[in-house]
Amino acid sequence: MSGNLIIKNAAQLVTCSGFKAKQGKEMSDLKIIDHGAVVIEAGLIKAVGKTDDVLAGIDEIDAREKGFDIIDAAGKAVLPGFVDSHTHLVFGGHREEEFSWRLRGDSYMDILKRGGGILNTVRATRAADDEELFEAGIQRLDSMMSFGVTTVEGKSGYGLDHDTEIKQLEVMQELDRRHPMDVVRTFLGAHAVPDAYKGREDVFIDYVIEQVMPDVVEDNLAEFCDIFCEKNVFSVDQSRRFLLKARAMGLKIKIHADEIEPLGGAELAAELGAVSADHLLQASDHGIAAIAKAGVVATLLPGTAFCLKAPYARGRYMIDADCAVALATDLNPGSCYSESIPLVFALATLYMNMSIEEAITALTLNGAAALDRADVIGSLDKGKLGDVIILGYPSYKFIPYHVGVSCVEKVIKKGKLVFSK
């Protein structure tokens, strides 16, 4: 396909129209067009509306001669491509044994303290070469794309040293070049404390700031910087210092906040004006109010709570408190080895009390906002990238209803068909 595409006769054209994050009640407004059509030219959306209106001045034979492909979506729902705004997709090794440990009752932090968890993957990622990481990354991106994801964020953080952090980011850069999906890179150099720095966390923060971050910035390897602000990992004060330095160097900031303990990560995200605060299972009422007021996107990761058998983040409360909520998979080798968008939808609607409409907004426009890209992706609006999914059903409501099974029939990236069942 050429990047020139007409999709017509959609039973529902779920536009999710908007150019910034939707907060609170706005998240329920999907701006649906019945019997809709989309015209994409050179990868960008040129027209959106009812089929009769959009095609009124278009001769389909002439359009085909000019290089347009035409998809008849009669009986199908059409939506923006999903945006998975929090993943750790490039890593070495696996941690299947730790899953069984958790089943017998070992906590995430207990496993981390005895050298498992993140540090286990650090050892495997340091040992893996670029080609191994790249090939595994391609397989994961292909799987994500089959679920309707057209843009994904990937974090480093499994190096905790200069060379491996750079290696992870360079692999993601190459994946972005060579895979149809867009891969947005986040530098998570402060993901855990290496064994050599136990009890010297401030020294490790200095090392990452002085020895790693400058090369990340100089080589344009990341757009965002993130830190795991958590008890027994990095404190609020350490996180503040780290993120302020990252912002001064030109990186946008995110934060792993209040996942296991109510440490005040949400409040810090609001104070610093982070693009997103992620996890938030233990976020306080005050922290939630603060991020809503500051316009920080609350990125919730229900798959992780599910795998850890932890209480879910308070999605319903956050939306009612006027937050902009995004949803993401948190694909990683330890706490959530899953890239399943259908699982995220099911958990958000069944266990976080989000409506289907709110969940769709959270995985489209608000996911885009969590990556500071709501102006170019996340909705079917004129001028945005032609990132579209076509379901095998006439309504978006089949997404959580067909529990745990992908309803996505076709995926279009920048006007090109990149996946079809």
In which region does residue 49 sit, left (phi positive, over 0), alpha (psi from -120 to 50) or beta (all else)? left
The pLDDT of residue 105: 87
The CATH number of residue 176's host domain is: 3.20.20.140
The CATH number of residue 32's host domain is: 2.30.40.10
CA nearest 7: which of 19, 16, 58, 29?
A: 58
Indicate whether 281 and 201 sit together in one domain: yes
Indicate whether 145 and 120 sit together in one domain: yes
Indicate whether 66 and 91 sit together in one domain: no
| Contacting residues for 297 by C-beta, under 8 A, at least 6 apart | 21, 275, 276, 277, 324, 325, 326, 366, 369, 370
CA-based radius of gyration for the chain: 21
What is the C-alpha separation between 226 and 167, in angstroms, rounded? 17
Show pLDDT as tens, one digit a residue, over the chain (421 residues): 679 999 999 999 999 999 999 999 999 999 999 999 999 999 999 999 999 999 998 999 999 999 999 999 999 999 999 999 999 999 999 999 888 888 888 887 788 777 788 889 999 999 999 999 999 999 999 999 999 999 999 999 999 999 999 999 999 999 999 999 999 999 999 999 999 999 999 999 999 999 999 999 999 999 999 999 999 999 999 999 999 999 999 999 999 999 999 999 999 999 999 999 999 999 999 999 999 999 999 999 999 999 999 999 999 999 999 999 999 999 999 999 999 999 999 999 999 999 999 999 999 999 999 999 999 999 999 999 999 999 999 999 999 999 999 999 999 999 999 999 9
Q: Is the pTM of this model over 0.75?
A: yes
Indicate whether 300 and 332 sit together in one domain: yes
Residue 374 lies in a domain: no
| Contacting residues for 199 by C-beta, under 8 A, at least 6 apart | none
Identity at 342, one-letter amino acid code: P
Indicate whether 131 and 182 sit together in one domain: yes
Indicate whether 299 and 413 sit together in one domain: no
Indicate whether 194 and 318 sit together in one domain: yes
CA nearest 398: which of 61, 175, 76?
A: 76
Print the domain residue range for 70: 5-80+379-420
Indicate whether 290 and 356 sit together in one domain: yes
The pLDDT of residue 116: 80
- Count the domains in the chain: 2
Residue 286 lies in a domain: yes
Residue 65 lies in a domain: yes
Identity at 154, one-letter amino acid code: G
Residue 89 lies in a domain: yes
Residue 159 lies in a domain: yes
Indicate whether 396 and 265 sit together in one domain: no
The pLDDT of residue 416: 98
Indicate whether 46 and 129 sit together in one domain: no
Task: Tally the residues of the chain.
Answer: 421
Residue 170 lies in a domain: yes
Helix, strand, coil % (nearest 5) of the chain?
40, 20, 40
The pLDDT of residue 1: 60
Indicate whether 176 and 53 sit together in one domain: no
Indicate whether 177 and 325 sit together in one domain: yes
